[in-house]
Structure 1
Amino acid sequence: MVINFVLLQLFVLHAAHATHIVGGRDATSHSRPYMASLRIGSLHNCGGILVREDFVLTAAHCEISGTYTVVLGADSLSGNEATQQEFTAVKSIPHPNYDRHGNDIMLLKLSGRAQLTEAVQLISLKAGRLRTGSQCLTAGWGDIGDNQTLPSTLQEVNVTILSQQTCRRRWGMVPITGSMVCGVGARVFQGFCSGDSGGPLICDGAAAGVVSFSGRRCGDPNTPDVYTRISSFTKWITDVLNTN
């Protein structure tokens, strides 16, 4: 079985590395003002969300040896929109227990503080566990065709939350821990894909998860999309923000 780490993890799955939304739709322009594009040079590599004016939350497997350019207020990856604000990530803080099998969460400190506007906003973090069957969504600029086809604008797709038991049964030997949450699209081959790594799972208007990994085929319900459960890391996130 292969895991798709929506980005660079050649783990045993298809990481969301370079994961993109498949089977989704164009998001209404600037309707997700908390979204961040993490770029290496001018190329989008991962997603993230703005949790404080100077901090973006993303996936630990998105960490690179170089420096990210972080773009806020974007709708199109190719356009130079007046709404965009650009920063450098001056510090990467992955969870200390990240080990490619779990704790796939990271904070990036920006070179400055974002100016909050209609197109750039913070997002709150969802507390507590999600109920099975909850209706959520995920968004990103990742692959839209499971074939390295990038979208011109931000994509989003509806997600239904699965029980841990169902997710573990479908993944088989791959460990699905209590700090993970699983979801599937309404149809086969709907979900996140390469390039969507680090992006959010949004439930009731708050961030409940971080895009982590999927199966060999993006959006395949036999290997449900897996997100890092943000509520499992609330104390760590708070501690990092308070000490920075």
Structure 2
Amino acid sequence: GSFVVVVTTLSASGVEGSHIVGGRDAVPHSRPYMASLQLRGRHGCGGLLVREDYVLTAAHCQQPYLNEPFTVVLGGDSLTASEPTKQTFTTVRSIPHPNYDGHANDIMLLKVRSKKKHFYFNNIDFYILKVILDCLLAGRNCITAGWGDIGDNNTLANRLQEVNVTILSQRSCRGRWGAVPITRSMVCGTGADNLQGFCSGDSGGPLVCDGAAAGVVSFSGRRCGDPRTPDVYTRLSSFRDWILNEINNN
């Protein structure tokens, strides 16, 4: 049968990630909505800034540290270099989806303390009200991005990586995954070439289609970028109402 890897592994000593495989350097600061979620000084997951005070990520990113706040780094291209655009925030509340079961509904909102103004906010039109695509057709070309490991030796990407993603039909994805349930609130994608796609340090990062957020990195197979076990994303259009209710009511 198929083997599912939850694509972020957090250990007691820190965060161990893996990599976007077969990707390329993103143009610096071309994706200002990208967040690096860090625990104890180490990058663990990606995230998507959806409002000045909210970051969207995957629910499985939180599991081992239920009471520990994330450090959210915004405006960075490199995780290590000091950049004038980089700003750091602390999460004050984690809101995983109430129906997250370790597999489905893998989505979480993080409320951040936002006393500082994101100076680049006037230049990005990425508020959730405007960005969720409802239509993800098979064959559509999208992109995912992240700072995960770029080798098999826990070397985090020095700069933000991105990779092209082609959306698969639900039928094709279910056929390839076999016994693993692929629900209607998930969307699947593969790279153009073999061994292209996301891996563990990329969890919670966005699937971006035509400049709009369409998914959140959720899980993949034992071997990253293997088209036999296509990458699976949480489909944002399925959670639009939940997202809006949470950010408007908290």
Normalising TM by the smaller chain, what interval? Answer: over 0.9
Q: List runs of 5+ in structure 1 lacking aligned partners.
A: 10-16
TM-score by length of 2: 0.90
Counterpart contact for 1:146–1:194, Cα < 8 Å: no
* Richer in helix (by share): 2
Given candidates 79, 82, 85, the residue that maps to 1:83 is 85
Given candidates 180, 185, 192, the residue that maps to 1:186 is 192
Q: CA 1:185–1:103 in structure 2 vs 1: closer, same or farther (change >3 Å)?
A: same
Q: List runs of 5+ in structure 2 lacking aligned partners.
A: 11-15
Aligned length: 238
> Is 1:35–2:38 an aligned residue pair?
no
Counterpart contact for 1:54–1:113, Cα < 8 Å: no
User: How far is 1:118 from its partner?
Assistant: 3.5
Identity %: 64
User: Who is 1:12 aligned against?
Assistant: none
> Is 1:239–2:245 an aligned residue pair?
yes
TM-score by length of 1: 0.93
> Is 1:26–2:28 an aligned residue pair?
no
> Is 1:154–2:155 an aligned residue pair?
no
The 4+ residue runs of structure 1 with deviation greater than 6 A are: none
* TM alignment of 1:1-244, pairs within 5 A: 1-8=2-9, 18-63=17-62, 64-65=65-66, 66-113=68-115, 115-118=117-120, 121=124, 123=126, 124=128, 125-244=131-250
1:152 corresponds to which letter in structure 2? N
Where 1:240 maps in the other structure, the secondary structure is helix
1:235 and 1:23 map into 2 onto residues whose CA distance is 34
Where 1:195 maps in the other structure, the secondary structure is helix
Q: Deviations over 1:113-155 (max 9, x none)?
A: 5523338846243231201100000000012234423210000
2:198 and 2:181 map into 1 onto residues whose CA distance is 20
Counterpart contact for 1:142–1:195, Cα < 8 Å: yes
Q: CA 1:122–1:86 in structure 2 vs 1: closer, same or farther (change >3 Å)?
A: farther
Where 2:194 maps in the other structure, the secondary structure is coil
2:212 and 2:158 map into 1 onto residues whose CA distance is 25
Q: CA 1:157–1:177 in structure 2 vs 1: closer, same or farther (change >3 Å)?
A: same
2:201 and 2:51 map into 1 onto residues whose CA distance is 23
Counterpart contact for 1:40–1:69, Cα < 8 Å: yes
After superposition, the CA RMSD in angstroms is 1.8
